[in-house]
Structure 1
């Protein structure tokens, strides 16, 4: 061969997948000489195998020992292809064929199908001799024959597996066949064990007693679920007993069963000439390693009923008879299954399963965590634990999801609405891929492992074996992608709060039957149980997926509604929202899967009519409950940008204002939900409500001005000045927006300017009207009150304040703040206001007048029949006491104490403390009362959906207000006492400082 030909040959070998090119070239030549196979044919087969170099060397080593065996194999294209596939993926099988070259003959027809269970069981029983299990010459040779025949059948399964174009899709078939093969091996080993314990030797038992002993092997874990690996511990439980007490006593039968168990395990994994198959692990039995190896059925039942831990029931989920007495095995499974499906009702069951999964992860060596396919984060156990927990919790009442296999259970959970289709599809796909990776790793050495290799060469072989990638980096990237996706789904589903809630439901509430539901609903707090039943029926009836999911959600949501203030109203609005959202896919999926959205929804709906009424019109707001960031008030900048975009988008004022009103409703709802859920402070709440109101007024003014002010009069300046609590950025739910209006003509005819200003005011008031969420622009704090003009020029304001201003008008200006319109005009107005509200010297007559007005307000402005002590705004020690005291201090000292020049009540109070004008302990009492009154006022509106300044005397309403303020249930008296106590303390401070 010329150097060019040799170079070309080596290049072809490299393209085929060989790494050691020169060695491969030599070995191919030797194989052609020894076996007589075509070099090109061998190279074509090598191209598809996981490791062509190892495959070639393995086949040649067998050929050196038995060339005829390899030659006969190569004569059959199917057998020849299967041999390359198997030894190219498995050093363990290469060693097996080197020990037993004659086994190559049994690869004929391999790769087309997997052997069925009956065939495998018959073959393995035949390999050990007498199928009846009492061969007199049973010996260690039988176990050797069993292990050889087992690997013959295992090779046929591997040939099928390795020959698939989509090996991941074949995982269920392959895993089931491996489990069936394991069961057949245990049956055959048990057959030998019976012969070994029968006889006349001192350690043996009479044949009659052995025949009368009932003995069954129960498969657990992956074997029980028919999803076994190539090399995995086979978890089993042994159960025994007597079939005839006159022949063998129960105790004697347990002794015989124990000997049978020990000998059966020895046949599978004891030391012999032929290597062990796998480990038989009986440690899931009652009491684990410390417990008896074999127990009677009654003993098992007694243990599980009295002493078993929750994890033991999780292990029994996949229990299945696999060998021995099928009737006894069926009795065992029938006895334990009810216990399995009622285990989730145990106290803290869900939390226990979650902790167990975390302990498994914690015990992985640090250096292996990122490579652990089975136990690590994002690995096989994440899928299996998630599926099993969902099964155990919901299987308590739903027999349709009681499946042994992980993939079968996933399908059932999807069909019954417990998992979303997209998540189940991703979980199922990733589970198959993880199992494929694990299978190929175990095939390599025919040993148990679930660790991703570290060396690039080994990773490259794994990539080719799985057909998921071509390179080491490629298979690493596949693993990282699977791991991320599995972990994400696992965390969302495994730690789903709904699981703990469902598991903790009292037995009588796990299902809703018409006969008992009415009494149950009344007992847990529904005032109209018949109406509640109608709503439940409307939500859950039918065969749609939506109705199915609602049926799963409803028992626990009913309990959560009942924990609220008004469960009847909450359920009613939930029904309406569900109907409004129709078949929107995210809605029910979010309630089922999210971290607390369902419970949050029941809480806000049953606590607040204000929220319920808005949410009916904005049902998509439910999505905010799944993300705390969406419940945070939006910034003024963001709202301004949206409002300006509305103005750009709409030319018609009616359309523009519809969008502005929708913006305001949406943001008020967002803040209301945050308030009821306790995610915002009072200061954040007031600031957010003020910002929303400001943005609404600004957007409305822009829209109205475009219609009212023609281009030729565009020089007219106009501004809106916030007053009262609005000016102090202290508004709550239901508060009016106190305002004043000011304009400057700037060359526009004065009469014309006045008319345009009044039209702007009229337009603002008209366009801001919202029958669903009223916004009252209250201008009563303007000069001369209701008698004065609605809008004045800046010059008129200056003239008025210079000549006729009253003390209360100066007091009102303390909270004046510009919010909309001309910035220059606002600046000019506030400069004018500063002269009035921050006088160089306090007007003592004016201060006396303010004190007289305060006393008159308390006597005259309270609603007729109202209890002054319960009035949140005007009552003794309430909002007005604190605000008037702070304001009189500002009028006296703001000129000399700049920090007092603020529109904020609490800000000014804090400045007064710093200046030594108010004792700190007195300020604390004032602030506490003001703070509590403000919160109660907003909570009252949120609860009822109506504005009221009176603390209700009704105990149910008081309790509802308390719940919104995060008091525990049934705290009406405590709410009342807290308020009355705070206002009494504040009133004493007020009287001392205000009138002193």
Structure 2
């Protein structure tokens, strides 16, 4: 920010009262007795006059210790910024000269006076801008705290022993967190410092006869450190120390271990503490351990998802700020008054709390940098950020000017003419009136922007005052209307069965979940339901919307932050109602797993699921944030990832942004991404326990294991809720032992690995299970080994497998695992499927298997679609199992692959039916019209099956649907000689 040119000195010196002039003249007289004064040039004298005109503190220091100012002038430090580490070096040198605690206090206070004069001088002469002044002050605090701590720690250890960690066995150091302005590197000229003390782990001291508990050691050390910094002595003070931001405030222990801090914030941390912790920074002590502590606390500060649960807390904080603004005397306070510094800080930190968990760019401390990020990331328009930045800088310059006068911690505008004239002078205005007019302009703009942040969405300013969105439904929800009037309102709004809708709302009101709600939760619900009804009546079928959404409302009632999310985001509520109206499957998923509501916030992302590489990268990035030994969190992360992306695929299918083939592609990519991470988790865990298995040649298997997908996952045709048909194969030596601390033979290792994979996939957690797994297609089915070697798999397929198992192998492909073993598996598959076959025998075996399936799984009432009534409107048609349906097409494709792949190996390149049909057409094995008809029928059937799944209905439709397609499928079936 650029300020007007500094005013002229005589105008401010003229009204100096006799006492101030005498002090000034005494300071000059004292300095005049020093030889160095003769070296001062005109520029130095002019600067000295200006600074002394504004600051009694500098006058007093020049008078009390003239050598301090003379040294600063002689060294040139007043005319240049410090190099990195220069300020700390001066403080460290002074601290090292101390021989006892009292001398430490004196050295720190003298250093503080020296640095304070330098910083005020450079600030008032505008040789340092706001950021540099704040940085110098914060660097002075960091160095004072850290150098004092290190000096005290060495002597404390000599007296009480060295604190050792009980778990690590390593020496323990204190970690000192700076909060507020210190944490953000934004100290003002007379700030106090907010600190939190911590230490890594419990234990006791070593090296003395009577050891101390680590906590007691650090409490005593913390008390000595505060004593070195805080008290006012004849030498002044270093920094006023405020420890009230620690857990439990003034009544809490002065120092806590990392575990105790984490437990406190996890169990009892309040929203204002999250707000405060945004600016926490390690200012002294063990920096490496401090970084670990901040990592531990980050989940408390920044939620992993958009944090709309914080909005009510922020709104409460905002109301408290507004109440304090209205207190008597606050009008003249440029920090706490209306349009003050605190309001700018609140705006920035509100965005950080809500969005910082997902947008890592907001996880920073300095306010000006946060404002720049809010502009760069599109959270606030550039014009708004420009006003907030300029207003904030003006307020901070004013704050420094107020505190430069007498080194007092105050943000109150002065009421005396002299100090008012000084403030105007320091900020470059000709008089107080001109300054005050500009100040009130910026305070007015800041206050206007402050009032816009997290404004209540239920209130819209209009000519007639405040109008509550959905307010016309509030009396109905609160049951203050008679039943007839309520039904009439529902009917007029578009409900077909108003009485039923009213009963559903009454049942919700009377439900045990609502009766157990706390007052705040009930207030949130009362704010939400009218908005829900207002949006429901915009749909063609509001009865259906209400029926499907109310179970979700009941499910999340006790976790009312979700209600806040929907209340604060009308777009998310609109998308929720649209999806629930279209699909009861989606409605049920969200009711069971309300965390999916986060996915509704971003419309662009909801209806545009990522491609396969992005899926893999996103999942890996999520898991890397979780410690490797935290299996519970890893399993939850995998399940939430699957739920979220399954919802996005279903939503995209409903709105038509994803066609059928792409839906199956995405669901299959999702399964593969999850299987990749599940396999790696299981592999690491099993290897950590038993070591690496060995191949027959003695080389380690790393990993020497593949997961083969059959059926829908193998054919890239997964649907909503599909299970996974899997087979596990390895190429290790079953008899060779692993090389770990608890060795087992290779056969056991791979069996345990397979069991671990199945456990990770199928275990029920709070977020459900990942997938149902079917392993019955492995060699010998349920009676066979869970994991086979590739050689054993090949032998079984060549000598023992039934024709239906070879049919299944047509759709088998490697999903994840060792690439070399995967290529070997493809070779075995090609050899088995491409062998010479007797076509008459093959047709008979395929036909027999299909007949058995129709008998067991087809619709009895229509003889599995072959009876005379199969095409009647009242008859059911099983899309998958009945004649002319999905399985008939799959069997024809599998028959063709087995019959002709010896001569046409290209038929084995793909495992999905659509592309195999294309290859059959290209090879001339199927007429083009027939191949095209089968492809289109297959896609139409699967699309219908998907729609049924989203409606939570079985894959059975009316018999008069797909009549032409079914007859054509049966015609081609017969043409191939199948019966």
| TM-score normalised by L of structure 1 | 0.44
The higher radius of gyration belongs to 1
Greater share of residues in helix: 1
